[in-house]
Structure formats: C-alpha cells, structure tokens
Structure 1
Amino acid sequence: MATLNDFETNLKGRLSETARIVGSDGTVLRWDGSCAPSPSVTIFPQCEEDVAETVKFCRQKGMKCFAQGGGHGWRVRNNGEIDVVICLREMSAVTVDEESRKITFGGGTIVQELIEAATAKKLEITTGICNSVGVMGSTLCGGIGRYMGKYGLAIDNLLSVNFVDAAGKLHRGVTQETDEDLWWAIRGAGTSLGIITEAVMQAHPQSNDGLSWTGTLIFADSSKLEAVVEAINDLEMDENMCVHFLIACVPPTLAPAIMVVPWHYGPEEEAEKVWKRLIDVGPTIKETFMAPANRLNDGNDPFGEKGGRKPGVGLGLDTLDPKAYRHIWDLYVQFISENPDAARTVLVAERYPKAKAVSAARDSTAFAHRDSKYEVICVPWYTDEKLDIRADAFAQTIRNIWAQKCCKPDQIRSYVAFSGLNEPLESLFGERERIDKLMRIKRKWDPENHWGALMDIV
C-alpha cells in the first residue's frame, strides 16, 4: 500500500506542475457523509493527462481510486475500499462554440458554471436542478431536469466524451461512431466504466429571453395533502412545465409542511392559467416570480449543502396515490418528532414532461426508465450517526409504500442518481438482456471491477 510520501515522491513528477497531492486531512467534503470514502490520499489533477497518470499509478500500487466532481453522488458503494480520491473540481473549464451551439466542459464542472456559460451566450442546456451538483455525474446517470420537456435527457444531448479507462489510458472523442457499445453504456452507466474527463453537449437557443415563471407554494394545512396530490396527478404537462412536490420542515418554524415548486417556461399570465388547478387548492403562502435562466436553481441551494448524513433512497413512480401519501405524511411527522436532529429530512417527487425523452429509442442508451411519470427521493438528513439504523428503516419504509402503492406490480424502477446502496440491477437498467450487455461491456473496459464504487457490473 503506497503512502502519501510514495505519491509525492513517485507520482508528483508525472503530473502537471500545479497538480496537488494531499493526505487524509485534505479529503473533500461530500454531500452525503453516511457512506463517503475516507481516502488516504486526494489528488487534484489539472488536466486529463494527470487523471490518466494517477489511475496508472494507483493500479501499479494496487490501490482503488474514485473520481469526484461535485461530490453529490447519491450513495457510494464499497466506500471503505477506496484508497484515493481523484477530485476533478479544478478541471472545470467551459467553452462555447456559438456557431454550432456546442459546449465543451471539464469533468469537474458544476451545474451553475455550465448554466452561466450557456446563459452568457443566450443559450440553454440540459442540466440538473441544483447549482452545486457536478454536471458529469448527473449527466452520466441520465440527466433529468427542467429543459428535458423540450430537449430530452442530458444524455440525449451528449455529443462526445473523453474517457480514462481502468488501465489509465485516455480515449479522446468517444462517440457512437468510434465505439458503439461503449457509447451506449456510458450514457446511463458511465460512472461504472471509467472517468469521463471532458464532454461536449448540444445547447439550444433561449426562449422568452431565458425568463421563466417559478416560485413556492406552501400548504401549512396538512388536510389539503390529498387535494395537492390529486392536482399534481391531473396536470396536463406540456414541454415548458415541471413540478417538484416536497414534504419538508419549512423555515422559520421548521414545522412539517407541504411544498410545491411549479415551473413554467413562459410569461406570468400564461403560467397562472397553466397552474390554476393547483393554485386553487389554496396555499398558505404563494411566492412566485419571473427568474432569469442563471438564477433558476437558486432556491435549491440549501438542498445541495454538503455535509451531514443523508442515506437516501428513490424510485420511479407511475402515480402518486393520495391515501399512500397520507400514510407517508404521518410517518414523516412521527419520524421528525422522535428525531429532532433529523428536522431537515425531506421527501421529494419530481415530475417532468417525458414525450421528448421517450421519443428516443429505449435501446439507444443504457438508461432504461424514460417513461417513469415521477422520480421520487426520500432523504433522511441528520448529523448523529447513532440515527443511522432508524433513518435507514424510515427510508426503506417510505420506499416500500411507494413501491406497493405507486408503482405497477413487479415493475420497480429506480433512477440511478437516486438509487440506494443495494438497488437490484434490474431496477436500475431494466431487463436481463440489458444487464447482460452491460456486463459484457464492463468486462471489456474494467475486467477487474476497479470502478465498483457505484455499482458492480461483473
């Protein structure tokens, strides 16, 4: 096992001059501390060649490494086996080709940086909904977000990637044409195949000068829960809409409440008509406004805060059952009241228009679940590790209710970025034939399962 001194003595000279090597005291904080790696060494590469050299060195020393971009990866499997973190955060350059509307970004780019670069050129691009999340990680899992109604998933807009394999070899410009199987697998399961150091994505011209209507509807009266659920279920979603539905403790009182974040890409008067059914339920607080594209995610910044323990689980649902949600509400209130340290626990249901996403052939990517009506997550959020067992039990209970009451029988689907630690491969990638294909590709590119931190496909 190589020591920090070994890295400084034998690797540093192979890296670019400004690349940094730090010990355990330089470990980068992750969003979820409940299963975060505790590396003995963290590397901060400055270029793709630094990444390749680091992987080669780790392989030579028999050490497992793990790439970290934004640090928000949902649950890190086999975290105890990870010796070295390759933090890509300083590889965050973004360049925009205005003529072709193609945007190139590094492996450490976060959502806010990509949005700012696109907005500056009056473009929009498919990203996640939290500013501090790494673009690469969220994209490789499929990439759901507000603009998917117009442009599909982020992976549907991906044009090429640069890729460091498990042997430390850098492959530039990987596309459908260069390697059909690898391109298929990267789009949906890329984090289990190698390190994506750079990507090119298609951007699109802004609509409505980038302005969209959004805000927060808070329902403090829990008796309106069923009405809110029914209104969300009944929405006729067009390509310019999405909605986030939360059960959370709302500041300043931190009392449990129902929160809805509607979004409409268009003028305010049009948005009020589109969302009338939900507004008519009667929120206690209604705060809406027109937001510029580069400020659209700001309301989610508290959710992206790093640190704490967040052993989350998620599923893809076909509906939100009102009776099931009444049961979920009661369990949430009980969990919060019994565990005050977990007051930031949150349940989120996200609904996006899927027509554009399902228009792409399901077999065109490793991402399997294009037609889930909702993506839902349960995130127990606390600091005291003594709550781990109770928090896991709560999250699994909520997941079971979703699975039994809001999913089609025997069709459990989970969005990879929201999955729990031990989610069956079938729920992530679909039927056996798809998993067998992934296994075959995995064996070619990572025969020793070096990249097993997120899921084992062997």
Structure 2
Amino acid sequence: MSDMEALVRKSMEGTKAEVLVPNDGEKYEQAIQRWSEHCIQRAKCVIKVSCADDITSALSFIRTQKIPFVVRGGGHSTSSSSSITDGIVIDLSLMRRVTVFPDSKTIRAEGGTLWVDVDEEAAKYDLATVGGTVNHTGVGGLTLGGGYGFLTGKYGLTIDNLLEVDIVLASGEQVTASATLNSDLFWAVRGAGHNFGVVTSFTFQAFDQPRPVFAGPLIFPLAKLPQVVDFVNTFHEINDGNQAILWGVSCPPPAHVPVLLTQLFHNGTVDEAKALFAPLFALDPIANMTASIPYKTVNSLLNPTAGFDGRKQFGGGAFKLPLSIDLVQSLVDKLFAFINARKGMEESLLLFETVPYREVVKVKNDAMAFSNRGEYYNLAIMMKWHDEGMDAEVRNFVRDLAKGAGLAEGAVRKDGEEVKDGVDGVGIYGNYANSDVPASEIYGNNAKKLQELKQKYDPDNLFDRGTRLVSKPVVVMN
C-alpha cells in the first residue's frame, strides 16, 4: 500500500465514502472512465463520496497534505477538468438522488445526478426543467457553466431556473446559497461554480409538461445546405419560444458519408410542428425520424452522436442570423477537408445550435457570473478521433476553424462583421471552451468581481481546475 493510499484510507475512516486505487481492478478502471477517452487519466486515488460530510473529510485531507485534486460529476468534460494523474478524484457518481416537490413545482438533484435522472423523475409528475440536449451529461457541469436546452426558448437558461445550491466550500464548511442566503456566492456559482466549491445539491424551478412534444432528426444530402440555411434565417421571426432547431454536418454511421443533420423540436402538436417546419419537410429529406414523443425522451435523441467511445474535443463560438451560405459553406469545407485527410474522424460534428434567446437576454450579463447573453446563437465544434498522436493537431484545428471564419472564441459574427464583448456578452459558451481560455474571455466584465469573491471563498485557490480565476501553483506531496 502506497503512502498516499494509506493516508487517504485513514482520513476517510468513519465516513460512507469508498476509496479506490489502481490495485482495485475493475472498480477503479470504471471509476476513471470518461466521456472522452483522451480525458482518461490514472488517478492515484478515487474517493467515491455519498454525502456532504464525505466531501468535507476529503477536502480536509487534501488541504492538509497539499494534494492536487479534481471533482467528477458526469465526467463529460473534454478539457480533462474531472481527471488527474498526480492526485485525487472526488467522485460524486453515487450522489444521484432526485426529489420532486409537485406542490412548489421544484426539483432537488444531488451533485452527481445525470440529466436522465432529472428528466425521468420530473416526468412522473408531468413536470420538466431546462436541461441540456444530451441526457447522459452531468447536471452539475452543465448547470455551473450555464445550461442551454430545448426549453430555453420558453424558460431561459438552466441557471436562470436554479433556486439554490448546497455547496461544500474549500474550508470544508457546508453552506446553502440562494438569492437570499450567501447571495454573492450564489451570483458566482451561476457560471463559475467549479471555482468555488463542490455543489452537493441543486434546486430548480420546474414547469408543467403534461403533453408530448414533437421532435427528432431530419437528414438531408449536403446539396440541400442553401435551402436549410434559408429556412434557419427565418427562424428567429417565426418561432414563439416553443421551438428549436439544431443543424449541422457530420459523417454518421453506418455509411460514414457527409450529410446535413437537423434536429427539430416543438413543444406542441404534430400539426403545429409540421406547419412551422413545412419548408424543411418539403425538401424531401433522406431520413425522417421525427415523431410525437414524451418530453423525457427528447434529451436522449442526440445520444447516438455523443457516445462514450473515442477521443473528443469541444470548441466553438457564436453566430447571428441571418447567415450567409458562403460563411456556412466555408466552415463545412474546412471541416471535411480536415477529417477526410485523416482516419477515424468521420463522426466529428459541426453544429449550429439555433435555440431561441429571447428569454436569455431578459437577464443582464451582470446579474450572475455567466456572461454569454446576447442576440446570437452558439456554434459547437465537436471533434472525434481515436489516434492519440492526433491530440495536438485536433486541438489546434478547433481553434483555427473558429478563427478562420471570424467565429473566434469571444467573437460574434454577422454579415462579415466581428463584434467583441459589450452589450452582446462575450460570445463564447463556457461549457464549450478549453480550460486555458482566459477568465476575461469567459466572464467578460464579471471577471474582476469573481476574482474578488474567489479571495473571500477560496483564498488559497484550492479549486484551481477549469477556467482559472487566479494562477497559483499547488504543492504536490512526494
């Protein structure tokens, strides 16, 4: 038994936590698995906590021994923020209880919860809240970074519907943060929560969702790109917040040939949806998998494009409507030129997330740490590959693809014009950004206040992963 293993096990005596080390075989191997294979790192120790007291004990040991650590919620990050080789993982995956309070229409989800847990439990009461677009992502990661989902057009971001959190601070203290309790901490958590502690529970506002929704993919040949762009350019005017359309290009299995993908959503009837999306149905799609389905199923529709195999890298920027076909075509051409010249990259995806933002921009960018509010939409670049030797060039390509089209991190583009931070927000979604992006680009004018709050709640920078608010070396135990 190594010195660290012995110390960790001793420090966690009397708790409910499970301590795993490399010699623990399959249980350890499962504990270090991540959504992206390039984020799998062989931690010296994994502490699978089951309650806030376990986390307090773990943080006490980490502070005393000055050991680097990370927190794992859903393990869905592509920046390795939930993985480590020279330290400890605090693993929240045992904390997945969801409690629905139908009288107040609120939902309490523990820190390790996945969105599938929330969607399915809420559906038992004909309720829903704003989640993501893939249901095997962690509630914690998505929420602390903002949270766009299919219900955003009607109810805003996930953090706009966050009522309170229970959080373990760097000191080990367990506190509640809300609009009335530790309100400055609540301000910081909504957008930069990973810098301030370990959230053990989230309480969300929920909404009535008794009816099914219309959703699913329409797939077109690439030749239909101009017509689809034409339709999307009208979308801002024709939607009422109950619709969304995600669209982009990839080479999905089994054929692995380039296609134009669209994912439709309408919170209403089939007839209403087919009338609104009529121009797309008239384009004679090569595949139509749309249907009337329960809302709890919606966030599973994109799961096949976001499986757990392979190495992955997220990146992106933002776009405004109307889009020119020349700009879109230039992005598509660059993507396919890159992936066609390399093996095993066919499932890479360029996705224009056209989710209505009217409710999002009703909240000011200084209302909370999250700063990506503006009259624009998110562009997601998701690269997938298998060769470890390609890691660096893929990372560089993601950055170059955005910059080459004027969609650099922190920029918004419309009709050839680049717009920087201001009334429009920062123009980059923090959950899609790499961890080395400066805090000023993610948080804009909120960065200074966040740095001040960091000194109040985590003066020693114990939580130093993800987008860093301060730079301070961590002493590693020998």
Q: Would the TM-score normalized by the shorter structure come out above 0.5?
A: yes
SS for the counterpart of 2:20 is strand
Distance 2:447 2:378 in 1: 21
Task: For residue 372 of structure 1, report the CA deviation from its aligned partner.
Answer: 4.6
User: Displacement, 1:78?
Assistant: 9.9
Give the unaligned 5+ runs of structure 1. Answer: none
Rounded Cα–Cα distance in structure 2 between residues aligned with 1:304 and 1:15 = 35
In structure 1, give the amino acid aligned to 2:21.
G
Say yes or no: does 1:304 pair with 2:306.
yes
Q: What one-letter code is carried by the residue in structure 1 that aligns with 2:119? A: I
Give the deviation of 1:287 after TM superposition.
2.5
Q: What is the CA–CA distance in structure 2 between the aligned matches of 1:303 and 1:14, rounded to whole Å? A: 43
Q: Within the alignment, does 1:40 sit opposite 2:44 as a pair?
A: yes
**Partner residue of 1:335 out of 317, 338, 342:** 338
- Paired with 2:305 and 2:254, the residues of 1 have a C-alpha distance of 16
CA contact (8 A) 2:311 2:385 kept: yes
TM-score, normalized by length of structure 2? 0.89
User: Percent of aligned pairs with the same residue?
Assistant: 27
Conserved in 1, the CA contact under 8 Å of 2:371 and 2:442?
Answer: yes
Confirm or deny that 1:451 pairs with 2:452: no
- What is the 5 A alignment of 1:25-424? 26=28, 27-76=31-80, 83-171=87-175, 173-206=176-209, 209-220=210-221, 222-235=222-235, 236-319=238-321, 320-400=323-403, 401-403=405-407, 406=413, 408-411=417-420, 413-424=427-438
The question of whether the paired residues in 1 share the 8 Å contact of 2:69 and 2:87 is answered with: yes
Find the aligned partners of 2:353 and 2:363 in 1 and give their Cα distance. Answer: 21
Conservation of the 8 A alpha-carbon contact between 2:353 and 2:378: yes
SS for the counterpart of 1:260 is strand
Please give the alpha-carbon distance, in whole angstroms, between the structure 1 residues aligned to 2:136 and 2:207. 22
Secondary structure at the residue paired with 2:461?
coil
Q: Give deviations 1:333-368, integer Å, cap 9, x for gaps.
A: 222221121122111111111111222233211111
5+ residue gaps, structure 2? 421-425, 471-478
Mapped contact 2:111–2:200 kept (Cα < 8 A): yes
TM superposition outliers: structure 1 runs of 4+ over 6 Å: none
Report the CA distance shift for 1:410/1:357 in structure 2 as closer, same or farther (over 3 A). closer
1:290-313 deviation line (CA, Å, top 9, x unaligned): 111121122211233224211221
Measure, in 2, the Cα distance between the counterparts of 1:43 and 1:160: 26
- CA offsets 1:127-164 (integer angstroms, 9 cap, x no match): 11111101121011111101112211111111111111
Say yes or no: does 1:428 pair with 2:442: yes
Would you say 1:3 and 2:7 are equivalent positions? no
AA matched with 1:290: S
Length, aligned pairs only: 449
Q: Which moved further from structure 2: 387-396 or 338-347?
A: 387-396
| Cα distance, 1:133–1:82 mapped onto 2, change above 3 Å | farther
The secondary structure found in structure 2 opposite 1:273 is helix
Q: CA deviation at 1:37?
A: 4.3
Contact 1:92 1:109 in 2 (8 A): yes
Query: How has the CA–CA distance of structure 1 residues 224 and 269 changed in structure 2, closer, same or farther, with 3 Å as cutoff?
Result: same
Q: Are 1:439 and 1:457, in contact at CA under 8 Å, matched by a contact in 2?
A: yes
Q: Is the 8 A contact 2:82 2:89 kept in 1?
A: no
| TM-score of the aligned structures, taking structure 1 as reference length | 0.93
* Amino acid corresponding to residue 192 of structure 1 in structure 2: N
Equivalent-residue separation in structure 2 for 1:406 and 1:36 (angstroms): 35
Q: Distance in 1 between matches of 2:117 and 2:83?
A: 28
